[in-house]
Chains A and B, each alone.
Chain A
């Protein structure tokens, strides 16, 4: 049994413990340890990606042992880790963004020790969510992530940081207690039907998604459970009307944390739907699909329109995330091969581009100390390199062919057209709106006459380039060769899709 997933998950935690032991003024050592303990998981997740067998149906790199086993209670919680095509890209994404986040936070001055310790704890939580194959373990990691995020926003954030932090915390906690109840529902289902599902396996996500087991999750009760879980995940995505924490959190969070928030945390909601809701409760998922498509549509159009109205650059990017995550929902609702691929791929591509966008906003904020779009202007003259990279990120986000977001959004729209024709057509306008607000913003920030007050602004420095270039390269590479990632996901997504499709036919 290889322990690579445990290593990926817990090396950051070890790094955190090392940092806690270092004296607080050794800032360079603290940064060095952080780099090292995010670089190692990144290296491991790259090797994981290379070793991943695309054709294999089941979970790979599985680690399994009993964590808590109480025979008398018929309750077993496993320490079970594993990845498949759905989680593999996200593990890689988490590795990349956590590593880059360390560099993006390089110039943090206050509470350096606490900052990096929390950042590493956050990475453990995120990796754990994507790797766990036990519901209880998943839940624990899901919650572990909350605490560092609360402090990272609340301590190092902007002027309204306390409000943003507690709002984020409360919203997510509300969602996760619903998940907890859903988890218990599975356990009692197993207790009542031990011949279908051994109660000792009731938290095992692979067992729950087994064809024989999931067929027993039918009826109104499981539809309610599905909705409870959906709300839990929807808050993270965030799906309208649960999205209001997101702009606050993003605007107040420091740059690196916005990157993690947009790049990884939002994906957890969609990942949860793909790992838990759809494969385990396919019947309820089929029943809920039209609502999901409608919510996705609202996300896309509403997010885009609100983004267009923003005066704050970071808020605009935040709402663009709301809009883009809508495509994932539409794709999952449509449940065709192409749409599912698009939805899953959108998680990765949006992870890259939104990370880039937030990094770019951070660059300009560090220099100008404000983010008001209309107060910029003519930056193209002062910061040519910055302008170039921003152009790439904007074009990728608005879905220019040849860049990765085009592939994922096109797949979603193509795949959904047959299933939800009207929805798809209206969703496509989201791309037009997207082009609208990105280009309009670009015009106001970079075009026009150069302004005197920005004349002394230096262009991006080496450290910032180091965080931006790898993302930019991936955006281009996956735009021209998406199969590098799509091939990884094909088989696993087919499983999910088949599960829901058979439930639709059966119903």
Chain B
């Protein structure tokens, strides 16, 4: 074997979680086409096994990284000709994505609109998308970031339109595809401009190149244009203003488990890539866990902070008027992209850490809320706030769980969401961006208006006189709600372990 090939094979050993995902995908395809009679949701359970096995190997990587020394440099492993990084940052995100994949599967188990005939394709697309998320957060080059992003997007286009007979679902798929194609086209153009300027696709190499070019630093117009174009692609993934237009329609039309997946997975991966690109290519480390923009004339943090405020404000204000739970959650997820962007603009290790911490809590809060949408559709047959009226008295446990998720999304203590916001604002105030912090907290207050509308419908309206007729809640839902809500409550009163994990995982990029 040639040395290059040998190196590739060796790298594959460090790529096992991804390899397992690929193998599972292939297995599901093969089983799907074989004419063996399969029991209900068998392929979905097989997908679970694949994700869990991948998780075991991921855990081994995590342990190996920890043992290879606490120093950041030695724990960064580069694979496949420096295009993919295996560092604590990537491992943390991959862990989240496996969780997202698993939870999406859990939500699909009882999702009625998912017909058994399409189950195989559904699982395959989900696994492919998860693989794409893995590649996105590991990417060290623009090319890999693009490939990962497309691998996430293309299966998602199909998943969004999975209910072929539903007009809304078709509309969702079409909108998602068109927006996605345009966004990635613009991004690709921006990348090519940047490649022309820097002569490399590698994040770190781009920084070195930019540091060396004095002419470019004097008039960074071209650099600004290419940065904004690249931002269009990433902004589309995290659904930030002004690239958020697709979000409500797609969220409404897509099957609910997929909506949940889209609201967390690609968003988190988008933040992973944004952090890598902006911190590694467009900033220099100024010591002490702080960064400064690489070109003085290109103050991209200001651009991003304006986007952040616009995103949270638009998301929150638009959410107030929604009647559909899924649209409401869509705007809520736009608003959260705004909060999370605050962690990017502060350009500090505290900011990265806050994003990582918040995303972990966000997985549980959002999936809890979407589980409730599935539950509502399954038992009441509605996906609107109207359908929740008085439900708190008929099915108390799921409604209390939903209320906890919503209050946690608002950021009320003693729930996990508050701690996440606390660290985000800590980062913002640490950088003395007071105006951003004030607009951020005011937005949190506004968000209470629409989250509380759902709670109001559940508990404050249609209160039965006398005993309410109880709604029989299947054990599946009680168990699933308990699993999703327990971490939110726990992280609200004892969050030190997650802080340690997120702190460790944010110690990359030479800080």
Query: Which of A's residues lie within 8 Å of B, judged by CB?
Result: 25, 67-70, 72-73, 110-111, 114, 139-140, 143-144, 146-147, 150-151, 154-155, 161-162, 165-166, 169-170, 173-174, 177-178, 180-181, 184-185, 187-188, 191
- A80 to chain B: closest CB distance in Å? 16
Main secondary structure, interface of A, reads: helix
B380 beta carbon closer than 8 Å to chain A? no
Verify B448–A144 contact, CB threshold 8 A: no
Verify B414–A166 contact, CB threshold 8 A: no
Interface-central residue, A73, A146, A191, by most chain B CB under 10 Å: A73
- B506 to chain A: closest CB distance in Å? 11
Residues of B within 8 A of A114 (CB): 396
Q: Which residue in A67, A70, A143, A188 is a CB contact (below 8 Å) of B503?
A: A70
B476 beta carbon closer than 8 Å to chain A? no
Residues of A within 8 A of B465 (CB): 110
Q: Which residue in B407, B441, B466, B496 is a CB contact (below 8 Å) of A147?
A: B407
Verify A166–B452 contact, CB threshold 8 A: yes
- A-B contacts, 21 of them at CB < 8 A, read A68-B496, A70-B496, A110-B463, A139-B413, A143-B414, A147-B407, A151-B459, A154-B460, A161-B460, A162-B456, A165-B460, A166-B449, A170-B445, A177-B444, A177-B445, A178-B441, A180-B441, A181-B429, A181-B438, A184-B425, A191-B430
Verify B393–A111 contact, CB threshold 8 A: yes
Verify A174–B407 contact, CB threshold 8 A: no
A154–B444 Cα distance when bound, in Å, is 21
Q: Which residue in B418, B463, B499, B503 is a CB contact (below 8 Å) of A111?
A: B463
Verify A68–B494 contact, CB threshold 8 A: yes
B422 beta carbon closer than 8 Å to chain A? yes
B412 beta carbon closer than 8 Å to chain A? yes
Mark out the residues of chain B between 457 and 511 whose CB falls within 8 Å of any chain A CB in the assembled complex.
459-461, 463-467, 494-496, 499-500, 503
- A136 to chain B: closest CB distance in Å? 8
Q: Which residue in B426, B437, B494, B503 is a CB contact (below 8 Å) of A72?
A: B503
Verify A184–B456 contact, CB threshold 8 A: no
Residues of A within 8 A of B456 (CB): 154, 162, 165-166
Query: Which of B's residues lie within 8 Å of A, judged by CB?
Result: 350, 393, 396, 407, 412-414, 418, 422, 425-426, 429-430, 437-438, 441-442, 444-445, 448-449, 452, 456, 459-461, 463-467, 494-496, 499-500, 503
Verify B437–A181 contact, CB threshold 8 A: yes
Supplied contacts A68-B494, A173-B448, 12 more A-B pairs, CB within 8 Å: A25-B467, A68-B496, A111-B393, A144-B414, A154-B456, A162-B456, A173-B444, A180-B441, A181-B437, A181-B438, A184-B426, A184-B429
Residues of A within 8 A of B442 (CB): 174, 177
A143–B422 Cα distance when bound, in Å, is 14
Q: Which residue in A140, A169, A185 is a CB contact (below 8 Å) of B429?
A: A185
Main secondary structure, interface of B, reads: helix
- Knowing A68-B496, A143-B413, A147-B412 touch, does A180 contact B425 (C-beta < 8 A)? yes
A180–B442 Cα distance when bound, in Å, is 12
Residues of A within 8 A of B459 (CB): 151, 154-155
- Knowing A70-B500, A162-B460, A165-B460 touch, does A144 contact B445 (C-beta < 8 A)? no
Verify B412–A143 contact, CB threshold 8 A: yes
A143–B441 Cα distance when bound, in Å, is 14
- B354 to chain A: closest CB distance in Å? 11
A180–B419 Cα distance when bound, in Å, is 12
Residues of B within 8 A of A184 (CB): 425-426, 429, 437
Residues of A within 8 A of B441 (CB): 177-178, 180-181
Of all chain A residues, which has the CB nearest B431? A188
A507–B448 Cα distance when bound, in Å, is 42
Verify B460–A144 contact, CB threshold 8 A: no
- Knowing A110-B463, A180-B422, A184-B429 touch, does A169 contact B448 (C-beta < 8 A)? yes
Verify A144–B429 contact, CB threshold 8 A: no
Q: Which residue in A73, A154, A188, A191 is a CB contact (below 8 Å) of B499?
A: A73
- B132 to chain A: closest CB distance in Å? 33
Of all chain A residues, which has the CB nearest B446? A170
Verify A169–B413 contact, CB threshold 8 A: no
A206–B378 Cα distance when bound, in Å, is 53
Residues of A within 8 A of B503 (CB): 70, 72-73
Residues of B within 8 A of A177 (CB): 441-442, 444-445
- B497 to chain A: closest CB distance in Å? 10
Residues of B within 8 A of A139 (CB): 413
Residues of A within 8 A of B463 (CB): 110-111, 155
A181–B435 Cα distance when bound, in Å, is 11
Verify A155–B460 contact, CB threshold 8 A: yes
Interface-central residue, A139, A177, A184, A188, by most chain B CB under 10 Å: A177
A70–B496 Cα distance when bound, in Å, is 7
- B460 to chain A: closest CB distance in Å? 4
Interface-central residue, A67, A140, A180, by most chain B CB under 10 Å: A180
Residues of B within 8 A of A70 (CB): 496, 499-500, 503
Residues of A within 8 A of B495 (CB): 68
Of all chain B residues, which has the CB nearest A184? B429
Residues of A within 8 A of B430 (CB): 188, 191
A147–B403 Cα distance when bound, in Å, is 10
- Knowing A166-B456, A173-B448 touch, does A144 contact B413 (C-beta < 8 A)? yes
Residues of A within 8 A of B413 (CB): 139-140, 143-144
- B384 to chain A: closest CB distance in Å? 18
Verify B426–A187 contact, CB threshold 8 A: yes
A91–B426 Cα distance when bound, in Å, is 32
Residues of B within 8 A of A140 (CB): 413-414
A184–B438 Cα distance when bound, in Å, is 12
